Amino acid sequence: MMTRLLITGAAGSLGGYAREGLKDCAQILRLSDVAELSPAGKGEEVVRCDLAEREAVDELVRDCDAILHLGAISAEAEFDALLQANILGTYNLYEAARRAGVSRILFASTNHVTGFHPVGERLDHLSPRRPDSLYGVSKCFGEDLSRLYFDKYGLETACLRIGSCFAEPTNRRMLSTWLSPGDFRTLIRQLLAASEIGHLVLYGVSANRDVWWSNAHADFLGWRPQDSSEAYRPAIEAREEEPAKGVRYQGGRHAALKLSD
């Protein structure tokens, strides 16, 4: 078992799922966020840190074996805010990780890096990126940065293009994109346990009927999502007309938003 796993963005919703479900993946979970976190429990350390502050990030990463990098602005936002949290923050994290000798980072990318592909088109890790938002572009930066750090320094990364990770799917789009919290946790566990991942790009999505994304190249991980959105379909279809607004593109609402003036 590794000694210390750092989780950034630990005060967020996926951070909560990770804090609760990954306790036995490391002797110590170092939980960090710019927002306040509840006090450290057994086997936990809590560190308040803004990822945009380089020296603080250097300190944060020290003595960590691996990182689950969730900390970010997690939806479309003003460019300057994305620049600080998602672009500068991710750069600071990778640079600190390289210097500290961290061997593996699980980077929370997003399906919005390919959100301008039409609904129904089947994508995989080799499909061209078509970001649907400045948010998506900021995650493309993280994917490319992680590739650079793997090619140059051998720092392994899994770029998880997460679909919609919530307790339940709540609209038609999520019938395709839903990732259950349970499947999220097993994916993270497999990625931490695998002996080698290199630089891996994969989609985080449950075993839904109409998935748009293939992870066939990542079969070696042995990750088999257990949950499906199908049980929620009747209720969602009954309350949401078809075609639902904004679902022409895979990115849904993000693809439909205007960039701010």
Query: Is residue 203 annotated as a catalytic residue, yes or no?
Result: no
Q: Which is nearer to ligand NAI, 14 or 192 (by Cβ)? A: 14
Which residue's CB comes closest to ligand NAI? 12
- Neighbour count for residue 239 (Cβ, 10 Å): 10
Closest distance between ligand NAI and the C-beta of residue 71, in Å? 3
- Residues at the contact surface with ligand NAI, assessed by CB under 6 A: 9, 11-15, 33-35, 50-52, 70-74, 85, 89, 108, 110, 162, 164-165
Which helix (H) or strand (E) element contains residue 32?
A: strand 26-33
Q: Which is nearer to ligand NAI, 105 or 108 (by Cβ)? A: 108
Instruction: Answer whether 178's CB lies under 8 Å from 211's CB.
Output: no
Say which of 135, 149, 203, 249 is annotated catalytic.
Answer: 135
Closest distance between ligand NAI and the C-beta of residue 183, in Å? 12
Contacts of 160 (CB under 8 A, 6+ apart): 106, 107, 108, 109, 187, 191, 202, 203, 204
Q: Which is nearer to ligand NAI, 165 or 192 (by Cβ)? A: 165
Q: Which is nearer to ligand NAI, 35 or 193 (by Cβ)? A: 35
Instruction: Answer whether 51's CB lies under 8 Å from 71's CB.
Output: yes
Helices and strands of the chain, counted as H and E runs: 9, 9
Closest distance between ligand NAI and the C-beta of residue 139, in Å? 7
Q: Where are the beta strands (DSSP E) in 42-132?
A: 44-48, 66-69, 104-110
Residues that are catalytic: 135
